[in-house]
Structure 1
Amino acid sequence: MARGTALLGSEVAIICGAMSWVSERNLVSAVSNAGGFGLIACGAMTPELLDKEIAATKALTSKPFGVNLITMHPQLMDLIAVCAKHGVTHIVLAGGLPPKGSIEAIKASGAKVICFAPALSLAKKLVRSGVDALIIEGMEAGGHIGPVATSVLAQEILPELASEVPIFVAGGIGRGEVIASYLKMGAAGVQLGTRFVCATESIAHPDFKKAFIRANARDAIASVQIDPRLPVIPVRALKNVGTEAFTAKQREVAQMLDEGKVDMMAAQLEIEHYWAGALRRAVIDGDVENGSLMAGQSVGMVSREEPVAAILAELVAQAETALEAS
């Protein structure tokens, strides 16, 4: 993990993936304080809200942490400026190719830029653009997902690019043995989200955590795109009434497109705002029937609520045992 820890400045190269409403000051600071690397999920936050969240996180930890920004956010450049004001050391750009000038703006502030790469061609393009590291995330992950499995992405991208930039593997990781296998393939570290949802320090509603503890891998299903015109990125979540409500929401937005009430960009934002609201209902309010229970397929390996430090210690111990045995 040496390259990963050198880039992140953490003790272990295990990133806690940015999960809207879950990855806030409490969980982020707990992960960084325990030796991992926490990421604030900016999601649909305004620059003012992000400003407060970064300040509150800095009050809880002196260790490095980063901020995850969505590339399609209409105020992306303002959010980058907020991060620069606070001296945020690492910014992760997610949700599509970074818009013109965004990588340069982040680098100008002295921060490291980490981008998601869902395919080898895009990974190469991002490396040429000057990113400092990549995250390759497979479809087993929770939340917004790409179409390719983690193991396939790792085989495609690590042999080609691992020598050029540090690469973190994400999607479906629940145990240390699989972390060890990706490190042996050339990864600099990993990113996990689902394993941290039920951390004691996570502010997720007790009912949200119970849903995770009860679930198994096959309960985490990907949403279906019902209109080819709508650029809907599939979302993996635990099946509930909210899953069906999303299908209805897509129909409603498609009709708005038909009637000329919204353009494509507005339609996409409408979908994103839906997810943000549905997720908040589940995570914060505990409405596990109608809200969105975004979860990766590793949810079956979440069996209890425990402190972040215990989760990290277990993963590291498993990885070390596997590496020593090989």
Structure 2
Amino acid sequence: MAALSGRAKLEKLERRGCAFLGSRYAVMGGGMTWVSERNLVAAISNAGGFGVIACGSMDPARLRLEIQGTQALTDRPFGVNLITMHPQLLELIDVCGDLGVTHVVLAGGVPPRNAMRQVKSHGAKLVCFAPALVLARKLMRDGADALVIEGAEAGGHIGPVSTAVLAQEILPVIREIPVFVAGGIGRGEAMVAFLEMGASGCQLGTRFVCARESIAHPRFKQAFIRAEARDAMPTVQVDPRFPVIPVRALNNDGTRLFTEFQHEVIGRFRAGEMDQRAAQLEIEHYWAGALRRAVIDGDVERGSLMAGQSVGMVRCEQTVAEILEELADQAAAVLAARARDMDDG
């Protein structure tokens, strides 16, 4: 009875998120460039979660093929993650609209209002990232249908505030629309904690990298399986005049060389060999292609191993269905244990 009670309680906690996503579990897949492609996205949706294609730097024609490829693998809802800084953002939104994508996630910056309106004009549900309460309120006023709050424990480009603090700041206040929590979530017990605080669901990326359905290179997956939480560190900025948006990734030769590269470029700037803009561009372009080299080619020494701190909870390769069921079992178990304690009391 207690186990049934745990599952029933979990379903109740996830009800709003599941209704919004159209999924069995209120679990969104993180939009991870090169990893969140048709095979993994379809597998997540087919297993009861909500897969999200990472558009990244794709052009509209490439995105069209990726969406169509995903639609050929699943008849379940899935979303598309678009980067707000993409020079063809509006065209990418139109591709999503043309192909009937049900949810569009605008990430990587404050979304322009015209882009938000365009998503809504296609009848898609609009999901935006909110790194602070003031922005959450603004996005809600501008028409966001749901929010993702992602803490600094996440992989890839990160902000300065932890998941736990963002959840405390935003979840008790924003009740009008669903809010999904992301960043460092690797177990069902953590999902329950955020659901009980008022979240409608959670977004997980790192846990799905080592899914059997993931096309990530075996060496990339092995790096995740071997890693501990402390190995996923943000990149270092060596001079405030040359800002670097921190990227959380597993430390390797690439991250160490990036620090040395910044010192070298800044030294050339100080010597008058280049102006500040040229130096900034060189620093920003250092990682160009580095993620693909790691994910697709398996260069785990010099490529970018973007990973959240939940990487320490990735211990083996599993199917997506096994990952989702494990998370649900963990969540249900803690709720069932609480129900037993109340019965005993």
TM-score, normalised with respect to structure 1: 0.93
Q: CA deviation at 1:230?
A: 4.0
Structure 1, residues 13-47: CA drift from partner, whole Å, max 9, x if none? Answer: 10110111000000000000000000100111111
| 1:52 partner amino acid | L
Give 1:1-326 correspondences, 5 Å limit: 1-161=14-174, 163-248=175-260, 250=262, 255=269, 259=275, 267=281, 271=284, 274-275=286-287, 277-326=289-338
Task: Report deviation, 1:219.
Answer: 0.5
Shift of 1:224: 1.2
The 3-state SS of whatever aligns with 1:160 is coil
Which residue type is aligned with residue 62 of structure 1?
Answer: D
Of 186-195 and 78-87, deviating more is 78-87
Q: Tell me the percent identity.
A: 65
Aligned residues: 321
Question: What secondary structure does 1:325 align onto?
Answer: helix
- Distance verdict in 2 for CA 1:29–1:324, change over 3 Å: same
Residues 152, 257 of structure 1: alpha-carbon distance in 2 compared, 3 angstrom cutoff: farther
Per the TM alignment, residue 201 of structure 1 is displaced from its structure 2 partner at its CA by 0.3
**Quick one: structure 1 residues 307 and 170, their matched pair in 2 at CA, closer, same or farther if it must change by over 3 Å?**
same
Is 1:135–1:168's contact at 8 Å kept on the other side of the alignment? Answer: yes
Distance 1:253 1:43 in 2: 27
| CA drift at 1:259 | 2.3
Per-residue deviation, residues 67-90 of structure 1 (Å, max 9, x unmatched):
001111111111111111111110
Greater RCO, 1 or 2 (C-alpha within 8 Å, sep 6+): 2
Change (3 A) 1:263 1:241: closer
Q: Secondary structure of the residue that 2:173 maps to in structure 1?
A: helix
Q: TM (normalized to structure 2)?
A: 0.88
Inter-CA distance 177–32: structure 2 relative to 1 (3 Å threshold): same
Q: Distance in 2 between matches of 1:20 and 1:257?
A: 35
Q: Report the alpha carbon displacement of residue 108 of structure 1 after superposing the two structures with TM.
A: 0.2
Maintained 8 Å contact 1:30/1:308: yes
- Listed as ranges, the gaps of 5+ residues in structure 1 are none
**Deviation digits for residues 229-250 of structure 1, max 9, x if unmatched?**
4443210000001112333555
- Contact map agreement 2:187 2:330 (CA 8 A) in 1: yes
| Distance in 2 separating the partners of 1:32 and 1:166 | 19
Partner SS for 1:174: coil
Within 1, Cα distance between the matches of 2:259 and 2:130?
A: 27
In 1, Cα distance between equivalents of 2:259 and 2:125: 38
The letter of the residue matching 2:86 is: H
SS across alignment from 1:36: coil
Of 244-253 and 86-95, more deviation after overlay is shown by: 244-253
Report what 2:343 is aligned to. none
* Secondary structure, aligned partner of 2:76: coil
The Cα of 1:116 is off from its aligned counterpart by 0.7
Using the TM superposition, give the Cα deviation of residue 135 of structure 1 relative to its aligned residue in structure 2, in angstroms: 0.4
Aligned partners of 1:92 and 1:118: how far apart in 2? 14
Where 2:51 maps in the other structure, the secondary structure is strand
